Amino acid sequence: MNLLIVESPAKAKTLNKYLGRDFNVIASMGHIKDLPTNDLGVDINQNFKPSYYVIKGKGKTIQKMKELAKKAERVYLGPDPDREGEAIAVHIYEELGVPEDRIYRVLFNEITKNAVIDSIRNPQKLDMNKYQSQQARRILDRLVGYLISPILWRKVMPGLSAGRVQSVAVKLIILREEAIREFKKQRFYELDGLFSKESESRFKARLTSIGNNKAVFDDESKAISTKNHIKQLSYFKVSGVNDSQRKRNPFPPFITSKLQQAAYNAFGFSAKKTMQLAQDLYEGMDVGDGKLEGLITYMRTDSVRISKEAIESVRGFISEKWGIEYLPESPNFYSSKSRAQDAHEAIRPTHVEYAPDSLRDILPRDHFRLYELIWKRFVASQMSPAIYSQRVVVIESGAYEFRSTASKLIFDGFMKLYNEVEENNSGETEQNGVAIPELKSGDLLNLADIEIVSRDTQPPARYTEATLIKELEERG
C-alpha cells in the first residue's frame, strides 16, 4: 500500500477515485506548521532564522499521517505545485520521520486520470529552492506585519495592519485619491460635419486640423466662430480615400491576474471568490453520474504557455466545430512577461471536449460561469483573427481637414466565441458597421450640417478590485 498526502479533502477524493486500492489518499487540511501568532518568530540576529510550530488542532492529523506513513511502501507528497504547496510538502516530510528514500514529490498541473498516473510514475524530489523562496516571502510578510503594524497603532489607529503587498496597494490607492482631488476639469470642443454626395446617405467626419494646428478648442466662442466660417465655405473635396483591412488577434489564455480581472468585470467576482471557484474546478467536480474530474489546470500561474498536447486537441476541436477557416495555419503562440516564473501552463480546460453547454445543468451556477469563461478564452486563443474592412476618408476645404473612419466586421474569427470591449482612442469619428459611400479623390461633397461636440476631461477613476490587481501586476 502506498500513501499519497495532499492538502485538500476535495482533491483527495478525486485522486482516490483515480488511483484505486493501491493507494491511501489523505488530506493534511492545508498547512500543518506556521510561525507563532504571539511572537515575531524570526531571529533577525541568526540570519533571519524562522521558528515554526505545529498549528493548534493539527496534532491528530499529523499523528494519522505518521501512522499511515510507517506502514506505507512509498509516501507521495502531492500538495499544489507552487511555493505554498512546496512548503506544505516539506513540513509534512519533517513531521513524518520517514527515510528520505521513501518520500516522493508529485506535481499535478491538472487532476485528470492520465496526468495523475503520469505524475505518480515520474515523481520528483522535494524542491528546496522553491521551499526557500516561500520561506523568504513568509519571513518578509512577518517582518513587515509585526514590525510596522505597531507603528500604525500608535500613530493612526489601533487594530490597523501593514503588509508586504497590502501596504503598497494602500499607497497606490492614496496616490490615486490625491490625483482625483487635485484634478481640475477642463472642457474642450470639437466639430463634426455631416456630409453627403448628391442623394446618397449622410456620414459624419470630424474636423481634425486647421493648417498645422489640431482642431481642438478650449474656448467655445472659438469653436462657434470656426463653425460659422466653415458653413460659409463653397466646396468640400475628398482628398484621400484609404481602404484597408485590419486584423484583431485573439487574446492569450488566462494567467491568474487576468482571470481575476475578467471574472470581476464579467460577473463582479472578488479575487478571493474567483480563486476559490477555480480551486474547486482544479481539484475535481462532479461531471455527471458521480464522475469526478479536474476541469481546469492549476490556477496560480503567470505563464501563457500551453502544452503541445493541449494545442493539438483544441485545434482538432476548432476544425471539427467551425471549419478550417476558423483555424490558423499554425498554432498561436504567446509570450509571457519577462518576469514570469513560467512554472506552470496557462489556465485552460483539461478536456476541451467538456464544452460549457454539456456542464450547464451539472455545475453550480458560479462554477459554471467561471469554467465557461476559461474554456471560451482558451479555445478562442487558438482561433483565427477577426478581420475588419476599414475605410478612412479625408475631406478638405482650404486649410480645414476632416476625417472619417468606418470599420466593419467581415470575418468574426475568434470573436464567434469570445469577445471583449476594445476601446477606440484614435480621436477620429469611427462608425462601426456604418458604411461610408463609395468615394474617390476629387469628389465634391455637400455639407448638410456641422455641430459642436463638447467634452470634459475626466479625473482618474478610482480603483476597482480588477484595476488595482492590474496596476499591481504592471508594477511587478
Point out the residues that are catalytic.
Answer: 298
The one-character DSSP state at 202 is P
Give the helix ranges, DSSP H, for 183-245: 220-231
Using DSSP, state whether 200 is helix, strand or coil: coil
> What distance in Å separates the CA atoms of residue 176 and residue 194, rounded to the nearest whole number?
40
In sequence order, the β-bridge partners of residue 396 are 237, 401
Q: Are 111 and 294 in contact (CB under 8 A)?
A: yes
Using DSSP, state whether 339 is helix, strand or coil: coil
In sequence order, the β-bridge partners of residue 388 are 246, 409
C-beta atoms surrounding 249 within 10 Å: 15
**String of DSSP letters for 401-446:** EEEEEEEEEEE-GGGGT--------SSSEE-TTPPPPP--TT-EEE
> What distance in Å separates the CA atoms of residue 139 and residue 133, rounded to the nearest whole number?
10
C-beta atoms surrounding 54 within 10 Å: 14
Cell numbers representing residue 73 in the block? 511502501
> What distance in Å separates the CA atoms of residue 140 and residue 148, rounded to the nearest whole number?
12
Burial 99-110 (b: 16+ CB within 10 A, else e): eeeebbbbbbbb
Q: Are 195 and 395 in contact (CB under 8 A)?
A: yes
